[in-house]
Structure 1
Amino acid sequence: MEVDCVPFKETGYFSRLICDYLEQREELKPFFNRFPLPENFEGQIKEKQENYPDAHRAILVASLKDQYRGFEATEATLGNIASLEGTNTFTVVTGHQLNLFTGPLYFLYKIVSAINLAKQLKERYPNHYFVPVYWMATEDHDFEEINYFNLHGKKIQWNKKASGAVGRLSTEGLEVLFETLTAELGQTTKAERLKDLFRRAYIEHDNLAKATRFLANELFGDQGLVIVDGDDASLKQLLVPFAEKDIFEHTPFHRVTETIDALAKVSADYTIQVNPREINYFYLKDGLRERIVKKNGHFYVVDTQIKFTPDQLREELEQHPERFSPNVIARPLYQEVILPNLCYIGGGGELAYWLELKPYFEDMGITFPMLLLRNSALLVTGKQYKKAQKLGVKISHLFLKQHSLINKKIREISNIDIDFSPQKKLLEEQFQLMYELAEQTDKSFLGAVKAQEVKQKKGLDALEKRLLQAQKRKLKDHVVRLTDLQNELFPNKSLQERQLNFSEMYLEMGDSLIPTLSDTLDPFCDGFLVLKS
């Protein structure tokens, strides 16, 4: 497989904040700990080693063994779990929602990034062990975000009334969706493998957390991936003192709000990803995950009759920590409290909200992890690559917005010059003389000269646009083929990795899909990868 690389900044799909972070802009340095370069992990290892209680390791390992009960964990995974009891073992983590059948293709890229990072760190620091971790977002409650995946341009959707944490949802009813999937996949050997994988994951397990664990374990267990479910009473016991500071002292609300203000001062172009609440915890029971709010000296669970005095809520937190579910602000802290973690691997949106959290972590006395942008990739088949060659277009150009791509190509292949830049430059030179003349005679004419310049430039723009449209009509066949190719590689005018499900690529590549990704994705790559089969 051939590998090419497009700088993230040139793709047009990454925010100003993330591009500045990747360039290690000086003004952003207060918002992260260490930039994720191989040599910087030495300091991160030392800091986490000094700041992670040994007692947490035993609790973590016991919880993981319990979570894997009933699953066929591989020797590699069991070995990694056991190694977590040693003080020289650390994790690298990625997290994702429990999207049906993995959801978008980048689910695979996240996990492969974590696995490959662990491997590379082991080579560089042979006296330590590094465990790749997939954190399942079992406590999310936005069912509409996870109840579907796309296949062949069709939305395969699980229609179900759902409430509460998605990990606890029953898989009852997925038999109907399995029939839809079966009809869509066809009868090939690769299709049969996918059907069997879906059936064993979702039909043979009774809730979504178990189904997702089985699926991720089937795909990545041989590479030692460890899957963590935060919806765990013993792990949440470790979170209690931090939850108290959030609920009763509002520490993250104050610190994160200050950090957001500080980020805004660095650049007005930075989009704030999430905002903290005064209380960043939900109350969690089967079928229920609602916010906790304080009102008139009491604590209430939104949209319920549940009510606590401060003492009652403290008691509830101590006795039933599993009933307190962190939101997007508190969850990262929970992860870093329970894991000996060095690095979080996420997409641009995720890293954007992590960059809001460092002072909050410092107040809580928890080491802030390194933040690594996950690998992104565009998978191009041999047939698609040949189409691009025939059209004389570089794959990197296909990242352009469609109208920009077409205009660029039409200008290239047209037998006439459709660029009026020389004429505009000549016009500006002529008007410069008129400005000087007006200055020497009557300055009140400057406005009239400016208006005339603007009018004539607009006239040239209109002529250029009409000429371009005429050439598009003349070269219609080329435009259609170019548009079709871009639509194949960027479905719905979006990144392939955000639209396609892995099953579509598995039908193309079979069992070589994940090994190919493992061989080609480099966590330290500083660009968007183009993989040509």
Structure 2
Amino acid sequence: MKIIDKPLSARQPLAAALTADFSSVAHLYQSDASKPANWQARLEWLDHNEDNRINRQDVVNVLRSYNERHNAHPRVGESLNRLEQKGTAVIVGGQQSGLFTGPMLVIYKAATIIKAARKAEAELGRPVVPVFWIAGEDHDWDESNHTYVLSTELKVTRIRMHRDDDLRTPVSYTTVKASEWSRVIEELNELLPDTEFKPQLLADLRESAAETLSLSFARLLGKLFGAYGLVLLDSADPELRKLEKDMFASIIREGDALTASYIEAARQIREMGLEEQAEVAEDGANLFYLQDQKRLLLFRSGDRYQDRSGRVSFTREQLLEQIEQHPERFSNNVLTRPLMQDALLPVLGFVLGDGEIAYWALLKKAFGVLNLQMPLLLPRMSFTVVDGTLQKYMDQYGLTFEEVRDHFQQRKSAWLNQQDNVHVDERFAEVKEAFTRLYDPLIEQLGTIEKGLVRLGGTNKERILAQMDYLQGKAKDALATANEATLRHWDRIYLSLMPQDKLQERVYNIFYYLNRYGTDFMEQLMEIPYETNACHKLILL
């Protein structure tokens, strides 16, 4: 394995500024994670505010119960034992559940959490535990229920899991039938080539099948990262909800101040010529309420809290009573989830992708409203895997990663034109020009005989040119057919590195690569050191 830095020029502006020009965004974020002193300062703040968070032992008890059931590795138990001790901090990152763990960026985020925790522990001389926050409260089933692999026929193929209804139910509460698990695993089996690693991979997937997508997601993350001590947390865990009820109540009581802080941050972002990356509603309560299995976003309307369709409606007192009696019915939205995370855990740093970093720009003052403080923000590691065959093809055709990403079709067309010994486009252009030069005067002369012949001649000319275009197209198709085998090399390069015109990590599933390289791939991935200002990297296998 060889690692090559490949900076991305099209990064989200706020995310790029966070690591390259922090002073320009210091009014939006708390601290520059590239400065060691800021890590120590954050740690000291956590120490001083230990008693202001949700009770540490209560949180660990819930996490222990969950992980013993779904992530029961001895190293995870060790992490939880350490987390029980005052002074232990955590590095956190999160993602919604995804089929077979979803796109590879989820794997890279989990790896980043573990590496960043290791790095912080070594540099600070203090225990730091990695925690992955499964956003099981999210209700967008269509974002969670699928994944992609590249088939042997060079097709970016989606595997999609179905359910019986279209309710806005949290993914962690959405039941998946055993027959549906069998179907999607068999579909993956048919798409992946046979390798020495495939039988065990499929066995692991069958063993991970569970009554919900979130539980399967947790089991797979446990198989991949339990040995590294990664603690899992499902935000939809009803036992956690009981611990969070005071924080939910604070979000309601401080709703006006929170909304004002979001609006002010959005204004500052717009003044920079950028757009805020999360919707800020002036009447938003920024909490969801679960009613009849539907997750309803609450808004303030006069002295009441209700969803847009009016399914539920509460006074403030009634809402606070609901929180006290039924905390499992409530969940955070994108603007309050980070606040809940900071109240629940001693968060030293939070691992985020570029889009997440951008919406966190709305939150600095919101943390202060609830007597919290924004943690250090740590960019997720980002990779593109390039196997040996792709490297050979790219060298053969003189292609760089940047050219594949930004100018692939132009390079492919230029290469194909070089194979055209007849010079089809030039020859047809010459013939069309000569034909037009000879035919136009003839049409004009025919008009002296009868004016109607001019119109007829023009129509005839267009038909002849159309026939030339048709023959030119056929000639180009024949050229492509003659070079079909080589063009498949080009297609494989692009479909492997930029599927659906996106970075590989945003589309393909990790099991495509585990099927080819086995667990060695994961072990080598975990050896790559973490840097807070890291750029996109190529992994050459």
Please classify the TM superposition score into its range, dividing by the shorter chain length.
Answer: 0.7 to 0.9
Tell whether the 8 Å contact from 1:150 to 1:501 is kept in structure 2 after alignment: yes
| Separation (CA, whole Å) in 2 of partners of 1:92 and 1:479 | 45
Partner letter of residue 201 of structure 1? S
Alpha-carbon distance, 1:129 to partner: 0.5
Summarize the Cα distance change of 1:135–1:523 in structure 2 as closer, same or farther, 3 Å threshold.
farther
**Deviates further, 280-289 or 363-372:** 280-289
1:321-347 CA distances to partner (integer Å, 9 max, x unpaired)?
Answer: 221111111111111110101111111
| Separation (CA, whole Å) in 1 of partners of 2:65 and 2:355 | 32
What residue in structure 2 maps to residue 496 of structure 1?
504
Report the 3-state secondary structure (helix = DSSP H, G, I; strand = E; otherwise coil) of the residue aligned with 2:159.
strand
Does 2:7 correspond to 1:22?
no
User: Which residues in structure 2 correspond to 1:312-331 (within 5 Å)?
Assistant: 312-331=318-337
What residue in structure 1 maps to residue 534 of structure 2?
526
What residue in structure 1 maps to residue 4 of structure 2?
4
**Deviates further, 387-396 or 501-510:** 387-396
Among all aligned residue pairs of Structure 1 and Structure 2, give the percentage whose two residues are the same amino acid. 25
What residue in structure 2 maps to residue 121 of structure 1?
120
What residue in structure 1 maps to residue 136 of structure 2?
138
Report the 3-state secondary structure (helix = DSSP H, G, I; strand = E; otherwise coil) of the residue aligned with 1:94.
strand
| Separation (CA, whole Å) in 2 of partners of 1:256 and 1:99 | 29
Alpha-carbon distance, 1:199 to partner: 0.9
Summarize the Cα distance change of 1:384–1:158 in structure 2 as closer, same or farther, 3 Å threshold.
same
What residue in structure 1 maps to residue 464 of structure 2?
none
Report the 3-state secondary structure (helix = DSSP H, G, I; strand = E; otherwise coil) of the residue aligned with 1:59.
helix
Report the 3-state secondary structure (helix = DSSP H, G, I; strand = E; otherwise coil) of the residue aligned with 2:26.
helix
Alpha-carbon distance, 1:412 to partner: 12
Alpha-carbon distance, 1:483 to partner: 5.6
**Deviates further, 339-348 or 69-78:** 69-78
Summarize the Cα distance change of 1:481–1:187 in structure 2 as closer, same or farther, 3 Å threshold.
closer
Tell whether the 8 Å contact from 1:140 to 1:165 is kept in structure 2 after alignment: yes
Alpha-carbon distance, 1:308 to partner: 2.4
User: Which residues in structure 2 correspond to 1:438-457 (within 5 Å)?
Assistant: none
Report the 3-state secondary structure (helix = DSSP H, G, I; strand = E; otherwise coil) of the residue aligned with 1:149.
strand
Partner letter of residue 329 of structure 1? L
C-alpha RMSD over aligned residues: 2.9
**Deviates further, 235-244 or 483-492:** 235-244
Tell whether the 8 Å contact from 2:286 to 2:333 is kept in structure 1 after alignment: yes
Q: Which runs of 5+ in 2 are unaligned?
A: 151-155, 421-475
Report the 3-state secondary structure (helix = DSSP H, G, I; strand = E; otherwise coil) of the residue aligned with 1:34.
coil
What residue in structure 1 maps to residue 50 of structure 2?
52
What residue in structure 1 maps to residue 62 of structure 2?
63
Greater Cα radius of gyration, structure 1 or 2: 2
Does 2:515 correspond to 1:510?
no
Report the 3-state secondary structure (helix = DSSP H, G, I; strand = E; otherwise coil) of the residue aligned with 1:7.
coil
Does 2:178 correspond to 1:181?
no
What residue in structure 2 maps to residue 275 of structure 1?
279
| Separation (CA, whole Å) in 2 of partners of 1:405 and 1:238 | 57
| Separation (CA, whole Å) in 2 of partners of 1:286 and 1:220 | 35
1:18-75 CA distances to partner (integer Å, 9 max, x unpaired)?
Answer: 2222212423111111122261311111112212327621111111122224345111
Summarize the Cα distance change of 1:283–1:72 in structure 2 as closer, same or farther, 3 Å threshold.
closer
Alpha-carbon distance, 1:405 to partner: 5.2
Tell whether the 8 Å contact from 2:60 to 2:80 is kept in structure 1 after alignment: yes
1:91-143 CA distances to partner (integer Å, 9 max, x unpaired)?
Answer: 001101101111101111000011111111122122x1111111001000000
**Deviates further, 74-83 or 175-184:** 175-184
TM-score of the superposition, structure 1-length normalised? Answer: 0.81
| Separation (CA, whole Å) in 2 of partners of 1:321 and 1:400 | 49
Summarize the Cα distance change of 1:395–1:297 in structure 2 as closer, same or farther, 3 Å threshold.
closer
Tell whether the 8 Å contact from 1:375 to 1:521 is kept in structure 2 after alignment: no
What residue in structure 2 maps to residue 444 of structure 1?
none
What residue in structure 1 maps to residue 201 of structure 2?
194
The correspondence for 2:29, drawn from 25, 29, 32, is 32
| Separation (CA, whole Å) in 2 of partners of 1:72 and 1:112 | 16
Partner letter of residue 7 of structure 1? P
What residue in structure 2 maps to residue 240 of structure 1?
245
TM-score of the superposition, structure 2-length normalised? Answer: 0.80
User: Which residues in structure 2 correspond to 1:178-327 (within 5 Å)?
Assistant: 178-185=185-192, 187-202=194-209, 205-248=210-253, 249-266=255-272, 268=273, 270-277=274-281, 278-284=284-290, 287-303=293-309, 305-327=311-333
Alpha-carbon distance, 1:155 to partner: 0.7
Alpha-carbon distance, 1:157 to partner: 0.5
| Separation (CA, whole Å) in 2 of partners of 1:3 and 1:372 | 20
What residue in structure 1 maps to residue 76 of structure 2?
77
Report the 3-state secondary structure (helix = DSSP H, G, I; strand = E; otherwise coil) of the residue aligned with 1:132.
strand
The total of aligned residue pairs comes to 470
Summarize the Cα distance change of 1:398–1:305 in structure 2 as closer, same or farther, 3 Å threshold.
closer
Alpha-carbon distance, 1:262 to partner: 0.7
| Separation (CA, whole Å) in 2 of partners of 1:3 and 1:159 | 38
Report the 3-state secondary structure (helix = DSSP H, G, I; strand = E; otherwise coil) of the residue aligned with 2:220.
helix
What residue in structure 2 maps to residue 156 of structure 1?
159
Tell whether the 8 Å contact from 2:289 to 2:331 is kept in structure 1 after alignment: yes
Partner letter of residue 511 of structure 1? T
| Separation (CA, whole Å) in 2 of partners of 1:283 and 1:531 | 44
Does 2:389 correspond to 1:383?
yes
Partner letter of residue 167 of structure 1? S
Alpha-carbon distance, 1:159 to partner: 1.8
| Separation (CA, whole Å) in 1 of partners of 2:347 and 2:336 | 16
| Separation (CA, whole Å) in 2 of partners of 1:214 and 1:479 | 40
Tell whether the 8 Å contact from 2:139 to 2:295 is kept in structure 1 after alignment: yes
| Separation (CA, whole Å) in 2 of partners of 1:521 and 1:404 | 36
User: Which residues in structure 2 correspond to 1:80-95 (within 5 Å)?
Assistant: 80-95=79-94
Alpha-carbon distance, 1:511 to partner: 1.1
Tell whether the 8 Å contact from 1:112 to 1:521 is kept in structure 2 after alignment: no
**Deviates further, 157-166 or 509-518:** 157-166
Tell whether the 8 Å contact from 2:20 to 2:533 is kept in structure 1 after alignment: no
Report the 3-state secondary structure (helix = DSSP H, G, I; strand = E; otherwise coil) of the residue aligned with 2:527.
helix
